[in-house]
Structure 1
C-alpha cells in the first residue's frame, strides 16, 4: 500500500480527473460498436478507477457513477 499526502486543491483535481474518466468509461461501455474483449478490459479499468474515486468523493457523489449492469434472463 502506498500513502499520499495531498492538499485540498490536489485532492479536488484528482477527484475531477477520476470523475471525467468514469464518465468516459460509462459512455464507452454503452457503445455497441466496441468489442466484448475490449469492454471487459474497460470494465476492469472502471472498477479500479471507481474504487479510487470512492476514497475522494462522498457517497452521494459516488452514486452518480455506479454502473447498473443489465439483468440476464434466468434459465427455467
Structure 2
C-alpha cells in the first residue's frame, strides 16, 4: 500500500481530473461503435478510477457515478465447453 499527501488545491485538482475521466469513460461506454471486448476493458478502468474518485469526494458526489452491475455484465463473453 502506498500513501500520498496532497495539499487542498492538489486534492481538488485530482478530484477534477478523476471526475473528467469518469465522464469521458461514460461517454465512450455508451458508444455503440466500440467493440464489447474494448468496452469490458473500459469498464474495468472505470471501476478502478471510480474507487479512486470515492476517496476524494463526498458520498453525494460519487453516487452520481455509480454504475450498476448489469452495465458490465453485458460486455462479458460467455464461454461454453
Matches within 5 A, 1:25-40: 25-40=25-40
Runs of 5+ in structure 1 lacking a partner?
Answer: none
Q: Tell me the secondary structure at the aligned position of residue 65 of structure 2.
A: coil
Moved over 4 A (4+): none
Aligned equivalent of 2:66: 66
Bigger shift: 59-68 or 36-45? 59-68
Cα deviations by residue, 1:5-57 (Å, 9 ceiling, x for unpaired): 00000000000000000000011101110000100000000000000000000
Contact 1:29 1:42 in 2 (8 A): yes
Give the alignment's TM-score, normalised by structure 1: 0.88
Per residue, is there more helix in 1 or in 2? 2
Alignment gaps of 5+ in structure 2: 75-81
TM-score between both structures, scaled by the size of structure 2: 0.83
Cα RMSD of the aligned pairs, angstroms, is 1.6
